Structure 1
Amino acid sequence: MRSSERADLPRWKGEPGFFEIWFLVVLDPSGDCAWWLRYTLFTPAPGGRGEPRATVWAAAFDRRSSEPAIAIKSLHPISEFDAGTRDRFGIRIGDSELARGVCRGRVGSGGHAIEWDLRFTPSSDVARRGPRGLDRLPLPTHVSHSHDDVTFRGVVSVDGVQHEVRGAPGLQKHIWGTRRVEALTWLHCPRFREDPGARLEALTVQPRRSVPGVRFTPIYLRTSEREHAFHEVPGILLTKLEPRGHEVRFEARSATRSLRGRAWCDPRTLAGYVYRDPQGWDVHVAQSDVAECEVELFSRAHPLDAWRPDRRLTSTVAALEFHAPEPLENVRYLGWDATHLEER
C-alpha cells in the first residue's frame, strides 16, 4: 500500500470525543468555477452537545453566477459510515463514497443539488508541509496531505447543470483528532499565469486563542525553477500571514530568498459553515474557491546585500479559507444542524 493511501485510512475506532475529515478542493482551470467536497465523522465528548453523526458537505462556486456560492450538506447517523477494509482505502457515507483516485456523491437540500463523479491520479507519497517530525507529536489535531497536487476529471452537476471537469488542479486531505483549532487561515493556489508549474500553499494556525503567542505559519512555494520551503526550520521562524477582512497578506524569507503576497476574494463567493468541536463549542468557517492571489519574489546574493525583485506571479485559481470563533461580516453560515442556507 502506498503511503498516500495508508495516510487516508480511517482513524476513528468508535470512541467518543473524536472528529475525522476527508476533503477535496477541485478548481476549474479557468478560475471561474470550483467545487469543495467533504466527508466527515463526529462523535461528541462526554457531556458534549449532539449525537454521533456522519456528514457529507458540498459547495459550488461560480464567480459569474448571481448566486456565486452554494453551500449544502446531508446529515447521516453514524451507522451509515462504512470504513471499508484495512488493506485498501475506501469510505462511504450513505450513497457518497471516496476511494483512492475516485470520488462520487450527491447532496441536495433547500432547492439546491450538487452531484459529482470524479477521478484523479493518486499521489504516490504524502506531501510534507510542516517541519520534520511534526506528524509524530501527540497533537490534538492531525493532518495528512494525502494527495497534494493532483488533477481531476469527470462531471459535477449543480442544480441540474452539468460541468465537464478536465485538467482541474486540486488536492485531497485527511484531518482527524480530538480537538479543533480555534483560528486558522489557509490559502491554496495550484496555478499561476506567469508560471503554470508554480504552486503555493500558505497557512497560519492558532490552536487556542487564549494563548495568542502560539502560532504556526508554514508557507510553501514551488516554481518551475526551485522550491521555497518556508515550512521547515529555520524558514518557518520568519513567516507571517495575517487575515484582513476578506483578504490575507503573507511574507516569508530565508537568508537569500524572500516573498510577499496577498490573496483576496469577493465576499459574495464565500460559503460559510459552522463546525463543532467534540467538547461542544463552535467555530465559523468561510471558504471561497474562486479567490485571487499575487506573489512577489526577491533574492540577494549575500545576507548583507539589498533585496532585488525577481518576478511577480498572479492567479485567479485559488482557494481561501477563514476559520475563527466569530463569523465574518456579510457572510451567511450554514448552521451545525442545518442542511442549507436560509433565504436572506
Structure 2
Amino acid sequence: MRGTVFTETMLGTVRLDGEPEERRVRLDLRADADRVLLPHRTTPARLTGRVRIAGHADDPRAEGELQVSPIARRRIRYRLAFTADGRRLTLDGWKSVTPRHPLASMTVLPFTVYEGQARVGEGVLRFPLATGLLPFLLGFRFPRREDPARHSAPRWNGAPGRTEVWYTTLTDPASGTGVWLHHELTAPADGSEPFAHGWAAVFPREGEVRHARFGPVPWTRPADGFTAEDVTCSGGRLTGSAGDLRWKLTEQPQGQPLFTFPRWAWRHPVLPAAQMLPSARATYEGEISYGGTTMDLRGAPGASARIYGHGNAHRWAWLHADLGSGDVLEVVAAVSTRPALRRLPPLVFLRLRRNGRTWPRRPERPAIGGPGPGRFRAAIGLPEWTVTGRTALRRIRVEVNQPPERTLTLEYRDPDGSRAVCRNSESADARIVLERWWGHWRPEATWTLDGTAHAETGTR
C-alpha cells in the first residue's frame, strides 16, 4: 500500500484582535497521507511544519490535519495548532473549490485563528504560483506504507548467543527532561536459559541523572513486544517500574519505519548486529514519576528503536535527533568486535529524513562509500564526538556534545559474558550542518539542539 507526501508553502497576512495593522504570515507545511491522493475522494492527511507570524510567532513544531476533497466536498480544509508568545492557537480554514474559478479557489485560503473556542484573528493565505508551483509538483512522493507495529514482534529464533533490544528515548517538552527506557532479551552463548532485563533513566535539565534496573527474569516468549513481570513494551504501550521510577505511556507513531542499516540486514541477520526504527519519530502521552517528581507528558517527541544481533560493538556512537517539522537524523557508528575488524575505523550508518525524503538514498552508502567521495567518518570520544561525510552533491557535519553532568555510565554484559560500558545522555547537545554543491558548497540547512539530542558512546 502506498501513501502520499508533499510539501506546500503559503504566504499571506493576519489581523489579530486588538491590533490595528495586519501581520505577515508564512506557512511551510508537510502533508502525509496514508493512501494515494485522488481528487474524486476525500483523503485525510497529517500536517506538520512551521508557522511564522511577523513579530508574534515562529513555531517549527506546528501540527494538525488536512482534509483534501476537491470534488466530493469541494473544499480542502486545514487545521493547524501552533504556539505564539506562549499561547496555544489553532489556524482553521479551507479552500472552497469551484469550477468557475479553479485557479483562485485552489490557491487562496481564508482562515480564522482560535484560542480554545474563542476567535482571536483572521486572515488570508495564498499559494505563490510563480515561485511555488514547480517545487510543489516535484515534491510529491508516493512512499510504500508499513505498519510500525509489525516490527515490534520478537526476532529471536531460539539460537544461543543473541541479544534483542527494544528501547525508547524521548524529551518532555514542558521540563526538558530526557527519558530512556531500555528493554533487553539476552540468550547466553553457553545455551543457558534466556532472560529479560533492562533499565529506566531520567535526565533532568537541573539535578542528577537518575536510573534503576529491572530483572533479570526468565524470558516468557511473548508473541508481541517485550514483557518482564510488570514491565511491558507492546502495542504502542510502555508500562513498568524500576526502583522508584514508574511509567505508563502510550506511543503514537509519526512516520514510516527508518532502516539505519540496510533493510536486508534487518530481515536476514548476517551482520553482527542491525538497528532500525519502527517509526522514524513518535509522540508520547502519559506519566512518569521518580523521587517525588511526576511528569505529565503531552506530545513528547521521541522514538522507539530495535536492535538484534550477537551483542555490542567494540566501540560505538549513536545519535537520534528530532530536527522539528517532521525531520529526523539517526546515526550509528561502530567498530566490530571481530578480531580482524577491530583496527579499522568506525563504519558509519547515517540516515537523514528531511521533507519526506531520506538521505543518503541507500543506507550502506555512508559505510562503504561510492564512486567519487568515500566513506563517512566518525571521531568517537567524550564529551564530544563528530561524524562527517559527503555524497556527490551534499555533505554533512554532525557535532555532538555529551556534558559529563548529563551523561549516565552503565555496565552490562553481552551474551558471551564479555563486559561493555555505555555512556548515554538523553539531554545532549548537537549541531548539524547540511551543505549542497552549487559550483561551491552552500549551506542548505543547519540545526542546533540544546539539551534535546539523544546520544551515546560505548567501549569495552
TM value normalised by structure 2:
0.61
For 1:172, which of 293, 301, 304 is the aligned residue? 304
Residue 116 (1) aligns with residue 250 (2): no
- Size of the aligned set, in residue pairs, is 306
Alignment-derived partner of residue 359 in structure 2 = 228
Report if aligned partners of 2:183, 2:199 keep a CA contact under 8 Å in 1.
Answer: yes
SS in 2 for 1:180: coil
Distance 1:52 1:83, change over 3 A: closer
Q: Distance in 2 between matches of 1:273 and 1:183?
A: 14
Q: Distance in 2 between matches of 1:46 and 1:138?
A: 20
Q: Distance in 2 between matches of 1:204 and 1:228?
A: 16
- Which structure 2 residues correspond to residues 192-341 of structure 1 after superposition, within 5 A? 196-208=325-337, 210=339, 211=341, 212-213=343-344, 215-224=346-355, 227-229=358-360, 232-236=363-367, 237=369, 238-301=375-438, 305-316=439-450, 317-325=452-460
Q: Distance in 2 between matches of 1:203 and 1:91?
A: 23
Report if aligned partners of 1:125, 1:146 keep a CA contact under 8 Å in 2.
Answer: yes
1:264 Cα shift?
0.4
Alignment-derived partner of residue 16 in structure 1 = 160
Alignment-derived partner of residue 84 in structure 1 = 222
SS in 2 for 1:82: coil
Report if aligned partners of 1:40, 1:55 keep a CA contact under 8 Å in 2.
Answer: yes
Alignment-derived partner of residue 62 in structure 1 = 204
Q: Distance in 1 between matches of 2:201 and 2:252?
A: 22
Distance 1:219 1:91, change over 3 A: closer
Q: Distance in 2 between matches of 1:229 and 1:172?
A: 21
Q: Name stretches of at least 5 consecutive residues in structure 1 with no aligned partner.
A: 326-344
* Residue identity matched to 2:418: W
1:134 Cα shift?
2.8
Report if aligned partners of 1:31, 1:290 keep a CA contact under 8 Å in 2.
Answer: no
Higher deviation after alignment, 241-250 or 213-222? 213-222
1:187 Cα shift?
0.9
- Which structure 2 residues correspond to residues 80-159 of structure 1 after superposition, within 5 A? 81-85=219-223, 89-108=224-243, 113-122=244-253, 125-135=256-266, 136-159=268-291
Larger-gyration structure (1/2): 2
CA deviations on 1:304-333 (whole Å, 9 max, x unpaired) are x321233422112111101111xxxxxxxx
SS in 2 for 1:190: strand
Higher deviation after alignment, 96-105 or 311-320? 311-320
Q: Distance in 1 between matches of 2:326 and 2:434?
A: 15
Alignment-derived partner of residue 39 in structure 1 = 183
1:225 Cα shift?
7.9
Distance 1:91 1:203, change over 3 A: closer
Report if aligned partners of 1:90, 1:98 keep a CA contact under 8 Å in 2.
Answer: yes
Higher deviation after alignment, 262-271 or 305-314? 305-314
Higher deviation after alignment, 139-148 or 34-43? 139-148
Report if aligned partners of 1:129, 1:231 keep a CA contact under 8 Å in 2.
Answer: no
CA deviations on 1:240-291 (whole Å, 9 max, x unpaired) are 2212321111212111111213110211111111121111211101100001
Q: Distance in 2 between matches of 1:225 and 1:22?
A: 25
CA deviations on 1:41-97 (whole Å, 9 max, x unpaired) are 2232229xx9743213111101212x1x1121022331xx33333xxx243211111
Report if aligned partners of 1:24, 1:37 keep a CA contact under 8 Å in 2.
Answer: yes
Q: Distance in 2 between matches of 1:76 and 1:277?
A: 14
1:133 Cα shift?
2.9
TM value normalised by structure 1:
0.80
For 2:173, which of 29, 41, 48 is the aligned residue? 29
Q: Distance in 2 between matches of 1:285 and 1:231?
A: 28
1:299 Cα shift?
1.5
RMSD value over aligned CA atoms? Answer: 2.6
Moved over 6 A (4+): none
Higher deviation after alignment, 116-125 or 314-323? 116-125
Residue 187 (1) aligns with residue 325 (2): no
1:171 Cα shift?
1.2
1:148 Cα shift?
2.6
* Residue identity matched to 1:37: L
1:13 Cα shift?
4.3
Distance 1:231 1:36, change over 3 A: farther
Identity %: 26
Distance 1:84 1:137, change over 3 A: closer
Q: Name stretches of at least 5 consecutive residues in structure 2 with no aligned partner.
A: 1-145, 370-374
